[in-house]
Chains A and B, each alone.
Chain A
Amino acid sequence: MSSSRLCWPTPNGLPALGPSVILAACVLLLVISASAVELDLVRLFTAIPRMFEFASHLLVMPDWEYLPTLGVNMLQTIEMTFLATSIALVISLPLGVMAAANASPHPAVFHATRNLLTLMRALPELVWALVFVSAVGLGPLPGVMALSFVTVGFMGKFFAESIEVVDARQIEGVAAHGASWLQLRTFGIFPQVFPDFVGTVMYILDHNLRAAAILGLVGAGGIGYDLVMAMRMFDYDRLLPIALSIYVVVTVLDRLSDRFRRRLI
């Protein structure tokens, strides 16, 4: 009759080495860090009723008088996003070229720019926002500064990566007709990477909207401030409207950017 000994589909019947090692390593890391993250299942389970209680607090009539302010602050958040992304776009175009191995004017420039971009995106926006608030005061200015700064780091990197995978033969074609250094990049490289650029910008806009929504936490403008204040002052009638407006704006931008991307490419 058939044997019912179980085994894996490998020559020796044991699970494959690669996946097993990776799995074991991950489990090990999680176990080691469990205490650092203060993992406490009891605490989690006892918190569940509190979560429901909190959720029930949210389901109250919204603070109607607050809604106009909400609208203004959401608009501010959206404006910060677009402005910061635009500023970053203008700066990232030349930086991206300089950070691309096949388009950079000089190897030294290439390495310097690459490292600069890595540093620019290393710290999260909120950290820079903290620093800039400390430098120029409260308001949307430090927020836009922080957002632009970090965005250049990411956009520059993505642009450089897109440039590095262009088809060299198309570039050769343009070069063979005596194009200058700048013309080569404008007419040879740029048309090829344009779809990728659009995708990158859309993705970054999406990310920046969420980032802008929380910069207000440290006073750098936008809806984040309202959010934190509402939590701290237990203004439950404002919390749900704020959360919902963030959700709606993010989703609308998401759908719009999908459509925009399809039209452009």
Chain B
Amino acid sequence: MSTLEVVRPPLPKKPFNPTPVWLSGWLVVMWLIIVDLDLSFETLLYGAQDIVEYFSRYSTPDFADLSRYVELLMQTLATALWGSALAFIVAVLLSPLAARNLTPNATVYRIARETLNFMRAMPDLLLALIFVAALGLGPLPGALALGIHTAGFLGKFFSESLERVDAGVYEAVSATGASRLQVVMYAGWPSILREALGYTLYIFDRNVRMAAVLGLVGAGGIGLALHDTLRMFNYNESSALIIVILITILIIDYLSTWLRGKLN
């Protein structure tokens, strides 16, 4: 029996796999961050027992002030609603200008895009601080802050959706002699309406969470109440407040997911 020597044609050179490099780089960076932030794992571990004890203080919620909580909650929801409405209107007006295939010229496009980016970049809390300084305390500055900040997000979502519409559809409508506004109204918005409403619901959901928190800077709502009770180490009332906030957010979350499911 003859043995054949197997001669294999050589494989191409294996391309360099950067994954181990990235992975180790990432681990190094994480370690450096932990050192720089002076985070002590020991504190965390030793504190674990303390933390368990700490969380047990929340175990007996005190709902005595429930009616006031509910009132504050309504204020929070109202803030989120008006903020989202403002965001929607601003986004509807700006997003066609920030869509490459609908904008009249490059300058308008740049300005619209950068305006939306700027609105997105400014944290709503910062805007809330500014508006509270100008308007005084209460939910209105919170609604304005939420509206402007989330207009940036919504505007970006809308303009990206508008850009994804088939160019032919836009062409067909403008080939009838329609103006740019008409093209946006008849070929743009109808094509993305479902997505747009889905995004808006998502933003409303987000705004409810943020509205709960804006109270911390005096922009009304339930956040302020929580801040006060925690500051005074009133764990039972804090616990009640957290539960109220939690249930509300869960309900809104559930509703908005259900609505978005129906949209698709």
Contact = CB atoms under 8 A, between A and B. Distances in A.
Direct contact between the two chains A and B in their complex (CB within 8 A):
yes
Nearest to B53: A135
Contacts of A218: 216, 227
Interface stretch (B6-14, B61-69, B117-125, B173-181): B117-125
A112 interface: no
A118 B139 CA distance: 27
A227 B250 contact: no
B126 A251 contact: no
B39 A144 contact: yes
B230 A123 contact: no
A69 to B, nearest CB: 15
A140 B253 contact: no
A17 interface: no
B133 interface: yes
A183 interface: no
Contacts of B38: 139-140
Interface stretch (B42-50, B91-99, B102-110, B161-169): B42-50
A186 to B, nearest CB: 14
A36 B230 contact: no
Contacts of B118: 247
B150 to A, nearest CB: 12
A126 B128 CA distance: 15
Main secondary structure of the interface of A (DSSP, over half): helix
Interface size class for chain B? Answer: 35 or more
Contacts of A50: 133-135
B122 A243 contact: yes
Interface in A53-97: 54, 75-76, 79-80, 82-83, 86
A44 to B, nearest CB: 7
Interface in A93-131: 118-119, 122-124, 126-127, 130-131
Contacts of A231: 129-130, 133
Contact of A123 (B123, B134, B242): B242
B87 interface: no
A131 B230 contact: yes
B129 A227 contact: yes
A86 B230 contact: no
Contact of B82 (A30, A126, A127, A217): A30
B29 to A, nearest CB: 7
Given A36-B75, A210-B123, A124 B210 contact: yes
A29 interface: yes
* The 5 nearest A-B residue pairs measured at CB: A36-B78, A33-B78, A37-B78, A250-B121, A214-B125
27 contacts: A30-B81, A33-B81, A36-B75, A36-B77, A37-B78, A37-B79, A38-B140, A50-B134, A54-B130, A83-B30, A118-B253, A119-B246, A122-B249, A126-B213, A126-B216, A126-B223, A127-B245, A131-B242, A134-B233, A135-B50, A144-B37, A217-B216, A243-B126, A246-B122, A246-B126, A247-B122, A251-B121
Interface of A: 26, 29-30, 33-34, 36-40, 43-44, 47, 50-51, 54, 75-76, 79-80, 82-83, 86, 118-119, 122-124, 126-127, 130-131, 134-136, 139-141, 144, 210, 213-214, 217-218, 221, 224, 227-228, 231, 243, 246-247, 250-251, 254
